């Protein structure tokens, strides 16, 4: 935290953010709420996620997707959204 020069308020916000996990449209709606700190700097990212979630909805697989904001390893490397897929069930 000190190394990155983040304020206590910012670290608290990040701490609560990474605990969010659930249905993609529900989490996106929370992030886009009026007054959300993510509307300013992250609105283009939220718009891109909305496009992705709309496509998943149209392909009828949105209910098998979990939006998990805790995936945050190697942050210095990534310049955009990271996706991770986990297949459950059969190994074929």
Quick: pLDDT tens for 46-76: 888 899 999 999 999 999 888 888 876 666 6
Average pLDDT, the chain: 80
pLDDT at 57: 94
Q: Which of 52, 58, 47 shows the shortest CA–CA distance to 85?
A: 52
pLDDT score recorded for residue 14:
77
Q: Which of 39-43, 68-72, 75-79, 86-90 has the lowest mean pLDDT?
A: 75-79
Q: Above 80 in pLDDT, residue 2?
A: no
Q: Is the pLDDT of residue 90 over 70?
A: no
């Amino acid at each position: 935290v000190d190394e990155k020069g983040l304020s206590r308020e910012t670290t608290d916000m990040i701490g609560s953010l990474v605990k969010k996990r659930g249905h993609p449209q529900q989490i996106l709606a929370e992030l886009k709420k009026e007054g959300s700190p993510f509307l300013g700097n992250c609105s283009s990212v939220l718009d891109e996620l909305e496009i992705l979630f709309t496509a998943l909805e149209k392909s009828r697989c949105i209910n098998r997707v979990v939006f998990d904001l805790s995936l945050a390893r190697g942050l210095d490397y990534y310049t955009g959204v990271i996706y991770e897929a986990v297949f459950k069930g059969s190994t074929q």
